[in-house]
Amino acid sequence: MPVMTRDCRPVLYEFFAGGGMARLGLGTGWDCRFANDFDDGKADAYHAAFGHRPDTRNIADLRIGDLPGLADLVWASPPCQDLSLAGRREGLAASRSGAFFAFWRLMEGLCADGRPPPLVVIENVTGLLTSNDGRDFATLCDALGTAGYRFGAVVLDAADFLPQSRPRLFVIAVRADRAIPGPLTGPTGAENRRVNAARDALPERVRGNWIDWSLPVPPGRTVELADLLEPDTPATPWLAPGKTDRLVAQMDSVNRARLDAALASGQRTIGTIYRRTRTRDGQRLQRAEIRFDGVAGCLRTPGGGSSRQILAVIENGRLRARLLSPRETARLMGLPDSYPLPGIPTQAYRLTGDGVAVPVVAWLNKHLLLPLHDAACTAKAA
């Protein structure tokens, strides 16, 4: 095999890259040599942000010869629609989330080619932990262990960094022969009880490769939803009174009580409304749910889940409502205002709703990924 050289920065491959939010969170300390996403709109945004366009082939059509050199970290955020609580929970066998297997065949190919990535991160919804009674998570972990990786998982919520409730699962895998500093491992806290339950349910031979990752508790969010709002513009018009009244009519007694209390307070109050389909007495009904805790609900794509969220502003005893603007959703994902969003709102909503929160990735990078990489480099130099 020819000798491969690289500059001083560790090399990143980014799969299911979307608009490059993982890359932004990892920062300029990583050198992204390959990115892939078959959504043309997201690829265009990625190109505008970083100066080069991702490979837009279906991941099943990629071969290891398409992947340049040696990667120090592979990041993958495979489609989550079939694993999300908002989806139909068909699991890894479904057409979209099943793209994981096409991705993993590439990783197996790199291992067979003598180019195993030392670090692999797989990001997904927390529903992966329980999808198909935990069998999907066990299948993923088994694939990692069989390929020569040790692994563990953490759940991090964007709400610890941004005013958006967005818990996500991060499976972090490291080659079995790599050094792991002791401070990076240890008993997981109560905040990761879902991970602990999934770990304990793994078959014994799979659980033998498990690592309990230890991360510090995030410092806490310092920004509220109101801090991220844009001034009123024609691009985000307020809903007509009749449409607002229909939203209120879709609220159940609990949500209506929240609204009435805010209206009666006499204070300016900012919240969000999102539509959910709920089952009551065997019937599926669309409900409007409202929150005034300074945090938006989880952003989703225009085609599924609670779809686009609606901003609720109460002032002078009156409710006004409008869609969150594309830029507001970008801010809720931690994207800087300099990030070039698609000009078509639906594409912008899809990009942000499918993404990973930038400061969450940065936190994971600082406290786990870079220390793992640095420890491996130190051990190799010794």
Pairing mode of beta strands 310-315, 318-323: antiparallel
Over the stretch 238-292, which tens digit does the pLDDT of each residue have?
999 999 999 999 999 999 999 999 999 999 999 999 888 777 777 888 899 999 9
pLDDT of amino acid 233 = 77
Is 178 in a helix, a strand, or coil? coil
Q: How far apart are CA 357 and CA 365, in angstroms?
A: 13
Tell me how far the alpha carbon of residue 141 is from its chain's centroid. Answer: 19
pLDDT of amino acid 141 = 95
In one-letter notation, the amino acid at residue 100 is F
Q: Encoding tokens for residue 373?
A: 């990489």
Length of the chain: 382
pLDDT of amino acid 100 = 87
Considering the candidates 8, 32, 80, 298, report the single residue annotated as catalytic.
80
What are the structural domain ranges in the chain? 11-221+353-381, 231-324
pLDDT of amino acid 300 = 85
Sign of the dihedral defined by the CA atoms of residues 281, 285, 290, 291, in that order: positive
> Is 141 annotated as catalytic?
no
Full DSSP string of 133-171: GGHHHHHHHHHHHHTTEEEEEEEEEGGGTSSB--EEEEE
> What's this model's pTM, rounded to 2 decimal places?
0.90
pLDDT beneath 70, residues of the chain: 1-8, 80-98, 188-191, 302-307, 378-382
pLDDT of amino acid 32 = 97
CATH code for 11-221+353-381?
3.40.50.150
Contacts of 120 (CB under 8 A, 6+ apart): 73, 74, 75, 76, 107, 144, 149, 172, 173, 174
pLDDT of amino acid 375 = 85
Q: Encoding tokens for residue 215?
A: 């991360």
* Residue that the structure tokens 């024609």 belong to: 234
pLDDT of amino acid 2 = 34
Of 10, 55, 53, 1, the C-alpha closest to 29 is: 10
Over the stretch 55-93, which tens digit does the pLDDT of each residue have?
999 999 999 999 999 999 999 998 865 443 344 445 455
